[in-house]
């Protein structure tokens, strides 16, 4: 089986083209592929398929092999893949995800995609939409959350997938925040029945510095839906305008929150790292859970 390795702002993916809709991967195989020591190594896997009412379907799984609703960095990688490899001549695409259809605009030149802008849709704040335990129509905006002996001001919302955004004191060194300890603790809190992504942010001078703990993955170099959630939380807190650059360890993403319809737009690059071929024997072992 052929595969490709792509990344968007350091958030990396195993890409598998399956426009004939013939490939079925179980959880064990996906987790083995994403294993950084025994497999290809990635934050997730994307199977690229066709869709009846869109140009393509992004069949996305996190590194644990669980299906996930949406990935802002991954969908840009999909767009670059299908255009650069001439699966489509279009520079505007509709891509079906488990969070609905997303519209993408590709900035392409000399036969290759440079950047992609994704209409990520509007945020949702009601607890039932995140989902988050509690009164279904209530919100969790600018509230206190305690974890690891610390108290953070936080906002919870959905960008098609669940997020909770924690504000870190601007005087604190963001690099020193124990994300690897606090992130997994919050991810599995009982308030979040489907678990949650966790953002640690510092909005300053029109830029949002950020680290992220991704549900089912761990700390990653960037997160597209997390960038959108962080801008929304910052705007609601009066700490940012409706457009900002979000600074990750993996680089910068541009986010804009349009006022007239509440849609968020995410802009960033995507990079092909390499193409490869999976060994048939390894694939069989992986499918049996024996490759790890």
Catalytic sites, residue numbers: 71, 223
**Who's near 200: CB < 8 A, 6+ residues apart?**
166, 168, 174, 177, 179, 182, 183, 210, 211, 212, 213
164 close to 214: Cβ distance less than 8 angstroms:
no
How many C-beta atoms surround the C-beta of residue 223 within 10 A? Answer: 35
Tell me how far the alpha carbon of residue 119 is from its chain's centroid. 14
Closest CA to 75 of 51, 111, 52, 110: 51
The H-assigned helical ranges of the chain are: 27-34, 72-84, 179-187, 224-236, 280-287
Partnered with residue 282 across adjacent β-strands are none
Three-state DSSP string of 231-290: HHHHHHCCCCCCEEEEEECCEEEEEEECCCCCCEEEEEECEEEEEEECCHHHHHHHHCCC
């Amino acid at each position: 089986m052929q595969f490709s390795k792509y990344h968007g702002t350091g958030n990396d993916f195993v890409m598998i083209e399956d426009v004939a809709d013939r490939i079925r991967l179980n959880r064990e195989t996906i987790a083995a592929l994403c294993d950084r020591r025994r497999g290809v190594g990635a934050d997730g896997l994307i199977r690229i398929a066709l869709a009846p009412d869109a140009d393509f379907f992004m069949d996305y799984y996190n590194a644990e092999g669980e299906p996930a609703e949406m990935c802002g960095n991954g969908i840009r990688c999909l767009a670059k893949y299908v255009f650069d490899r001439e699966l489509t001549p279009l520079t505007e695409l509709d891509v079906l995800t488990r969070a609905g259809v997303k519209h993408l605009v590709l900035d392409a030149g000399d036969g290759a995609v440079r950047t992609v802008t994704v209409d990520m849709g509007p945020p949702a704040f009601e607890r039932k939409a995140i989902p988050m335990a509690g009164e279904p129509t209530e919100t969790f905006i600018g509230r206190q959350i305690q974890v690891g002996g610390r108290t953070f001001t936080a906002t919870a919302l959905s960008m098609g997938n669940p997020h909770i955004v924690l504000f870190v004191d601007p005087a604190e060194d963001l690099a020193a925040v124990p994300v690897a300890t606090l992130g997994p603790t919050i991810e599995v809190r009982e308030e979040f029945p489907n678990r949650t992504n966790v953002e640690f942010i510092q909005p300053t001078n029109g830029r949002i510095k950020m680290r992220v703990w991704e549900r089912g993955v761990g700390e990653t170099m960037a997160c597209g839906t997390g960038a959108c959630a962080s801008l929304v939380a910052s705007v609601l807190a009066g700490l940012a305008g409706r457009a900002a650059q979000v600074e990750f360890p993996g680089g910068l993403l541009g986010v804009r929150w349009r006022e007239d319809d509440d849609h968020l737009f995410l802009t960033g690059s995507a990079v092909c790292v390499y193409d490869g071929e999976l060994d048939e024997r390894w694939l069989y072992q992986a499918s049996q859970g024996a490759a790890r």
